Structure 1
Amino acid sequence: MKKVFLVGAGPGDLELITVKGLKVIQQSDVILYDRLINEQLLEEAPAHAELIYCGKSPDNHSLTQETINGLLCKFALQEKTVTRLKGGDPFIFGRGGEEAGELARRRIPFEIVPGVTSGVAAPAYAGIPVTHRDYSSSVAFISGVSKLGSEGEAYWKHVVKCMDTLCIYMGVKKLPEICELLMRNGCHRETPVALVQSGTTEDQFTVTGTLEDIGQKAEGINNPSMIIVGEVVKLRDQLQWFEQMKPVETPAVNSVVG
């Protein structure tokens, strides 16, 4: 039986795929890929490879998670090398744990190939280090689509108390509610906030403000966007680089596209 690879494609910049991730793509018989990957990576697949779109947007899932799990198992049992290509990192809000769990249950060999997650990359490309010895010694990656409302008060109180920097995925539509929850549970209204839309890509756009005013400043910002909350956001004025200059071209690795 061949192996299934759960591969993180990175946050959008084509060259942020890992060397190992690229090699796996180049050896695949089947690739099931997500909406937020850089589709130029698919050009690295062998000519015979079958490419299956599995993208999920907030309002539309092309395939259910159960169907995706079934396809991974089906192709592996057909003695094919299968790659599940996921945006960012497969184990950070990517349902990689669910897919690996199904493969383990079916006793199908699998391997995890970590990727660069947008919770680190988007802030970095916006000039915001998620940790800094003068500003932040802890960081949390959290989802903006759960633990909202009165039932989540204890959760948000814990997050505010324990973490210096928050990187919030999938939170744009709930931004006003998230800001209100943070302020209500201990964050000062002047806490700096940044939204980075389409991070690491040529379309990257960043808006900064505070918990009190970011909702107004971020009107028009859409998914995919990363929300960063914390004092480290202040460093953007000094450290921003990507949006001010054309990135320096880097050498190709094993004929990576671009």
Structure 2
Amino acid sequence: MTGRSMTVEPDGFPGVTLVGGGPGDRDLITVAGLRAVLGADVVVTDRLAPAGLLAELSPGVEVIDVAKVPRGRSTAQERINELLVDRARAGRSVVRLKGGDGYVFGRGFEEVLALQDAGVPVRVIPGLSSSLAVPALAGIPVTHRGVVHDFTVVSGHLPPGHPDSLVDWAAVAALRGTLVLMMAVENGGAIADTLLAAGRPGSQPAAVVCDGSLPTERVVRTTLADLGRVIATERIRPPAVVVVGEVAAL
């Protein structure tokens, strides 16, 4: 079979396109997402969006950085919504570029609702979720025949016991499948302690994948019982994906 190269043509959607950029490597965005980015007049980008794509934009494209940095600067969601509406109403083709997939802990649907309320045309182009892509790129399958038949993705943004948390950690601990924790670096130790107290075995393998898909990617292997200590001693910083379960040892 003879391979064929593919030319990606920009599409210039007249409104706002929410693009999931994938886990970070510029080559892991979808073809549809790339078309949207290349056809944009304005790109409103997150901290975890594929930065390599921005270097390929035409000089006239307006790039707006609305990063939310842990314990650092943070652009309010209301301000992001205002920017999207303002630029679209000015007749410009706008791309809201996010890391991973915008509907997996990415506030994508909040932005869709705001744009719909403002009468702005909006479409969504999904991206590779970091919850699946980052472990896979690090050699960790979230499921494997004969080992595990289910996986659960949980936000670790809020610690167990936080009044705003919607996670039933006792129920999560009782599951036998793979547990994938997103945004859990700061609360990793507290989450591990809660899972252990609810009966999850401390000997269960765990892996932390830092900077997944990027040249700086690092994989740290440990156990659930040692997860909090390892996060501290290895000086792990976001972005990182934590995998707990038998597959973490594969």
In structure 2, stretches of 5+ residues that fail to align are 1-12
Name the Cα RMSD after superposition.
Answer: 1.8
Match of 1:226 in 2: 241
Instruction: Provide the C-alpha distance between the structure 1 equivalents of 2:127 and 2:215, rounded to a whole number of angstroms.
Output: 20
8 Å CA contact 1:140–1:163 kept in 2: the answer is no
Which of these residues, 3, 7, 15, is aligned with residue 27 of structure 2? Answer: 15
Count of residue correspondences: 235
- Residue pairs, 1:129-144, within 5 angstroms: 129-144=141-156
Counterpart amino acid of residue 159 in structure 1: V
The separation in 1 between residues aligned to 2:115 and 2:149, in whole angstroms, is 36
Q: 1:204 aligns with which of 199, 208, 217?
A: 217
**Contact persistence 2:158–2:187 (CA under 8 A):** no
What are the equivalent positions in structure 2 for 1:85-104 lying under 5 Å apart? 85-104=97-116
Q: How does 1:68-83 map to 2 (within 5 A)?
A: 68-83=80-95
Please give the secondary structure, in 1, of the residue aligned with 2:186. helix
Length-normalised TM-score, structure 2:
0.89
Closer, same or farther in 2 for the Cα pair 1:154/1:17, shift >3 Å? closer
Q: Distance in 2 between matches of 1:223 and 1:93?
A: 15
Tell me which residue corresponds to 1:31.
Answer: 43
| Structure 2 equivalent of residue 116 of structure 1 | 128
Cα offsets for 1:104-153 (capped at 9, x unmatched): 21221111111111111111121110111212211111111225127669
Query: 1:66 aligns to what SS in structure 2?
Result: helix
- Structure showing greater relative contact order (alpha-carbon pairs closer than 8 Å, 6 or more residues apart): 1
Unaligned runs of 5+ in 1: 236-258
**TM-score normalised according to structure 1 size:** 0.86
The answer for the alignment partner of 2:5 in structure 1 is none
Who is 1:164 aligned against? 177
Structure number with higher helix proportion: 1
Which amino acid letter does the alignment assign opposite residue 238 of structure 2? N
Identity of aligned residues (%): 39
Q: Distance in 1 between matches of 2:92 and 2:167?
A: 46
- 8 Å CA contact 1:167–1:229 kept in 2: the answer is yes
- Do the aligned residues in 1 keep the contact of 2:153 with 2:180 (CA within 8 Å)? yes
Partner of 1:248: none
> Residue 247 of structure 1 corresponds to which residue in structure 2?
none
C-alpha distance 63-124 of structure 1, shift in aligned 2 (>3 A): same
What does residue range 46-61 of structure 1 map to in structure 2 within 5 Å?
Answer: 46-61=58-73
Letter in 1 for 2:237: N
Q: Distance in 2 between matches of 1:45 and 1:113?
A: 19
Over residues 76-97 of structure 1, what are the superposed CA-to-partner deviations in whole Å (9 max), with x where a residue is unaligned?
A: 1111110000011111111101
SS in 1 for 2:36: helix
